[in-house]
Amino acid sequence: MARPMLRIDLATVPDELRDGLRAIVAARPDAFVQEGGAGRLADGAGEAVAGAVRTVDVLFAHDPALGDRLALAVEVLDGGRRLRVAYGQRAAAFRALGRILGQLASAGATGGVAGAHSANDGGGRLEGFAEASPFRMLGIMVDVSRNGVLRPEAVQRLLRLVALMGINTCMLYTEDTYELPGEPFFGYLRGRYSQETLRALDAYAAALGIEMIPCIQTLGHLEQILKWPRFWDYRDTASVLIAEEPHTYELVERMIEAASRPFRTRRIHVGMDEAWGIGTGRYRERHGERRPFDILNAHLARVREICRRRGLRPMIWSDMYFRLGSKRHEYYDRESVIPEDVRRSIPGDVDLVYWDYYHVTSDFYEEWIDRHRELGTEPIMAGGVWTWNRLWATLPFSFTATEACMRACKRKGLREAFVTMWGDDGMECDVFSALPGIQFFAEHGYTAAETVDPELLRANFRGVCGPGAELDDWVRASAVDAPPGVDDPATSRANPSKWLLWQDPLLAVMDPLVEGQPLREHYEQLAAELAEAADRAAAAEGYGGRSLGRRLIFPARLAQVLAIKSELRRRLAAAYRQGDRAALRRMAAVELPALRAAVERLWRTHRAMWMETYEPFGWEVIERRYGGLMARLATVSETLEAYLDGRVPRIAELEADLLPPVEVAPGTLPEVTYAHVATPSAIK
């Protein structure tokens, strides 16, 4: 039986959906009969003649009864030959299509298309369904400020994917990576977006039912501009703007104008988080000692006024209020006290964003939602998919934290939530590895239940991401950070793949934490599994000609490197101390050349993935890390050969005893940055 494919008559769909549907249909020749009537065969062999595939017509209609809610209903008509999608908000229509694609992916395996109201017997039949979200905002925020500035084409691809999940809001976090007219050093050599590019992305997102909200900084996190002499007069500290200076607000007004102009929304995120040392630098020199709370509120009042004049409603990250009230300067300090006069001074028309990616029980999120409400406003929730400070998203922990977070939001009746993907420490991670985490967030967003149906999650991910993209494979790739030594990946934020990769091959400072663990076996098995999954994806008909599942080759090659490198120093030191020159010769002749070749393959794979996903600016940071590693491996090879040939009497690095650098609980491993593991020396 011919594979069923979807057919959408773009001439008859509601005007508000037409451009978005056209973009999705064009990108998915595996699933849609293209305009003109032709479909693509399941094996990708070329265009099929009209009628060579079994088509299912999809009809769309806005249902006034659903209003502007994220609500939808899909009805199966004419024995499965037509599907009728009723929707409220536009994003719900695209969500419905994503779910239909999920059913279609299974139906294609059996060739079956069910009649109306059929039961799911495991054959992947097309069925009717209805959903209503308890939220009015379900969004994503992508960090494009920590080296990885997404190419416009990559943003568009991500928007298409998350639209099919039902996401209706997107923020690109831009500290300095947007054009500020007249300021060439703002985003200088950083891949900043032009006004025209942002305007085009906003239009593309709007066609998919997604509101793009500018997301910038107006107080802290501005070290990228404040390092240039042009902006030195704006510094309080190295990363924080000086408050209560007229020229500061002239700059901030220009920033808000430039950031908001390309977008049709009337909302803006103005940041103001982690403003370390506010009032302790040049501010103190000019204005004397003042309570940080008062500086923060005075600055917020000025920024709010700038937004008000432009008809913008601002939101800010909320952490500084809690940090300033904490004796330990911590966000999640239960002993934090925010004075009553400070509470009264927080403007009611500024939305506070409660960000929390860390906690795994709903009770904590519920408590902090209440604490935010005590400040006088209804908070916006920001969770996270853990893409920062690692090379592949840590999905099991992301699922755990997201479930706890979303349960709390539902129990407390929050209406707005988004999920963040940060790029701390260089954006080494493939941001698309977060897709299962976004799908999980979306599944929670479209049900009032406290748990997600795992089979529906898998089906919807398959439908959204296309042939060859299997959620379990992507989650399995997260095991690069769950080797022996991590007892429960669902509660672990460790990033051992990062520190095992970058730590010096002779001065392996983290090795004592994994002493005696069978890392090689773990990574060899994982590399084989991921390579096989990538091959399956490559054999599948591609998403727009290239399967997303091919991206698994990156963690596969990372695991191939770690299979050798994770125990390298341990085995070198053991052979050296035992005087086993034969073992050292084998390692010099076989393992080190194999490792150097594997690192080069990983570097080339990572570079190709980066250039497809991000602007070239920023890649030099990561490439220097690869270059340093490859140079050190060359030195290890030459040092070992010199020792074996008798040209040097000893290898001092292998004689040094390694000590545990940090204390960790049994069954856990730490999360550390590149600077902490590349060398035990301070680089100055």
SS3 315: strand
Same domain, 307 and 426: yes
| Count: domains in the chain | 3
Same domain, 250 and 123: no
Number of residues that make up the chain: 684
Q: Is residue 683 part of a domain?
A: no
If you write DSSP's letter for every residue of 174-234 in order, what string do you get? Answer: -SS-B--TT-TTTTTTTTPBPHHHHHHHHHHHHHTT-EE--B--SSSS-HHHHTSGGGGGG
Among 445, 467, 489, where does a domain finish?
Answer: 467
Same domain, 652 and 548: yes
Structure confidence at residue 684 (pLDDT): 58
Convert 320-331 to b/e letters by CB count within 10 Å (16 or more is b).
Answer: bbbbbbbeeeeb
Where residue 191 falls (left for φ over 0; alpha for ψ -120 to 50; beta otherwise) is: left
Q: Is residue 430 part of a domain?
A: yes
Q: Is residue 39 part of a domain?
A: yes
Structure confidence at residue 677 (pLDDT): 95
Q: In which domain, by residue range, is 661 found?
A: 477-677
Q: What is the pLDDT of residues 332-386, one digit of tens each?
A: 999 999 999 999 999 999 999 999 999 999 999 999 999 999 999 999 999 999 9
SS3 86: strand
Sheet holding 267-269, edge to edge: 211-212, 169-173, 137-143, 416-421, 380-384, 351-355, 313-317, 267-269
Answer for the pair 50, 123: CB distance below 8 angstroms, yes or no: no
Among 103, 132, 161, where does a domain finish?
Answer: 132
Same domain, 158 and 291: yes
Answer for the pair 191, 614: CB distance below 8 angstroms, yes or no: yes
Same domain, 503 and 434: no
Same domain, 506 and 608: yes
Structure confidence at residue 51 (pLDDT): 46
Structure confidence at residue 36 (pLDDT): 58
Same domain, 107 and 186: no
Model pTM?
0.95
Same domain, 249 and 395: yes
Structure confidence at residue 546 (pLDDT): 64
Q: Is residue 144 part of a domain?
A: yes
Same domain, 393 and 442: yes
Same domain, 124 and 251: no
If you write DSSP's letter for every residue of 502-550 in order, what string do you get? Answer: HS-SSS-TTGGGGTT--HHHHHHHHHHHHHHHHHHHHHSPPGGGS-GGG
Among 132, 155, 185, where does a domain finish?
Answer: 132
Same domain, 330 and 463: yes
Spatial distance between the Cα atoms of 83 and 108, rounded to a whole number of angstroms:
16
Contact partners, residue 121, CB within 8 Å, separation at least 6: none
Q: Is residue 472 part of a domain?
A: no
Q: Is residue 127 part of a domain?
A: yes
- C-alpha torsion sign, points 137, 143, 144, 149: negative
Q: Is residue 587 part of a domain?
A: yes
Answer for the pair 124, 112: CB distance below 8 angstroms, yes or no: yes
Output the domain CATH number for residue 310. 3.20.20.80
Q: What is the pLDDT of residues 5-45, one digit of tens each?
A: 999 999 999 999 999 999 999 999 989 998 655 443 333 33
Output the domain CATH number for residue 638. 1.20.120.670
Structure confidence at residue 339 (pLDDT): 97
Same domain, 454 and 506: no
Structure confidence at residue 122 (pLDDT): 37
Longest dimension (CA), the chain: 85
Residue 113 tokens read as 């298309």
Q: Is residue 400 part of a domain?
A: yes
Averages of pLDDT over each 10 residues, the chain, 684 residues: 84 97 95 66 36 84 97 96 97 98 73 35 71 98 98 98 98 98 98 98 98 98 98 98 98 98 98 97 97 97 98 98 97 97 96 98 98 97 98 98 98 98 98 98 98 97 93 98 98 98 98 97 98 90 64 97 98 98 98 98 98 98 98 98 97 98 96 96 76
